[in-house]
Structure 1
Amino acid sequence: MPRLFTAIEVPEDIGLALSGYRGGLSGARWIDVENYHITLRFLGDVDEDVAQEAALLLGKIRRQPFDVAIEGLDAFGGARPRALIAKVAPSPAILELQAEHERLMRRAGLPAESRKFTPHVTLARLRDASPRAVADYLGLRGGPARLSFRAEQFVIYSSRDSVGGGPYVVEAAYPLR
């Protein structure tokens, strides 16, 4: 069974700019730059029939390309930080695209996503990083100057079950038009 998710790819130049924040945080497992993405919908380990139905439904999406803005660094997990992220501005275009993915994946038979969608790029997974160390890291780095790019497509990625994710393989690409 493939482990699948839908996402917007992060262009190479944006990924390189974000990679400058690698290092300086104990307990961080840094994501490889080529695996940076913005997850829209996690499908999980699905059988081939569900994967094919999901791919067919996603092919019916008709949306215009849109701008994606990265607006700073943050962490998920609060008192137990688990990920260092680059925050993505929650524009109407990305929120509507994600909501459509959610509706279509439920139509394909997948359960509803339990977590609220917060657009982001995961830069590192954190293990045993203290909240203080994460706060100090974020305070010193501040985050990138506003970075932006044009989302021209979304993809279905497959991944293998591994610590930290990746490598990810594009199984299908859907142009925004």
Structure 2
Amino acid sequence: QPHTATLSPCVDSCLGDTCSGSKMKSHYTYLNIPDNVKTELKKLQNTLKDESYALGLQKVNLDNAHITLSVLTLSSERRKQTEEELINSTNKLLDSIKPKLDISFGGLRCFGARVLYVAVNETSQLLDLKHEVEELLQKEGIKVDVPRFTPHVTLFRLKTGKAGSEGLLKSLASNAPIPSLKSFTATKVFFEALRNQEEKL
């Protein structure tokens, strides 16, 4: 299902038209999260809401929860395609990659004072899949724009206009009970457009 990307602040900080001279970031690849795991993530989110609200954070809509692999830019040739043609042809291309990848979760972490997230364990298999996908897409004129990779699922983000406190958020992440979330097997990689910059975290 198409949805908005969840990106780390290293991506968020340069999601405008330019970033160190690069072209605009416009698309991303991701792994879906099963509904039963989303339900567990929502329960975890609810247990943390009071402490998070006190730090000026707001809940992220976990109906769209997924794991971003890469944020991408298009070659000039690719930008000539209609969006429908681009999405359909690229997802068909990605069908040639058939992962059977076990995804498991770590503890709570934060990106500065802005984001509280659940870490996804960064296994060699996950990195291998990411690189395989990027190499395939690069041959097709779709290039990685943000090489830094922090696999995660965002639970809360700082409300607009709030200052936040990195120290207090780190304390919350460190002292909260370690979440016990079910692992799952990812069997497909998806490609989609970044649609709504306001929901990027």
What number of residue pairs does the alignment pair up? 162
52-61 or 116-125, larger mean C-alpha shift: 52-61
TM-score after normalising by structure 1: 0.75
Provide the C-alpha distance between the structure 2 equivalents of 1:125 and 1:109, rounded to a whole number of angstroms: 33
Which of the numbers 45, 59, 68 marks the counterpart of 1:21? 45
Distance (Å, rounded) in 2 between the aligned partners of 1:99 and 1:161 = 26
Q: Tell me whether 1:90 sits opposite 2:122 in the alignment.
A: yes
After TM superposition, give the deviation of residue 56 of structure 1 in Å. Answer: 4.4
Paired with 2:117 and 2:64, the residues of 1 have a C-alpha distance of: 13
Gaps of at least 5 residues in structure 2 are: 1-24
Contact 1:71 1:147 in 2 (8 A): no
CA shift for structure 1 position 117: 1.7
Q: Kindly, what percent of the aligned residue pairs are identical?
A: 26
- Greater share of strand residues, 1 or 2? 1
What's the offset of the Cα at 1:57? Answer: 3.3
Segment drifting more, 99-108 vs 139-148? 139-148
**Equivalent residue for 1:60?**
96
Instruction: Identify which range, 51-60 or 66-75, moves more after superposition.
Output: 51-60
Task: Say what the alpha-carbon RMSD is for the aligned residues.
Answer: 2.8
**8 Å contact kept, 1:10–1:37:** yes
Matched, 1:39 2:74: no
5+ long unaligned stretches in structure 1: 167-177
- Cα 1:145–1:62 shift into 2, 3 Å: closer
Query: Where in structure 2 are the equivalents of 1:96-115 lying within 5 Å?
Result: 96-115=128-147
Q: Considering Cα pairs closer than 8 Å and 6+ residues apart, tell me whether 1 or 2 has the greater RCO.
A: 2
Q: Give the alignment's TM-score, normalised by structure 2.
A: 0.68
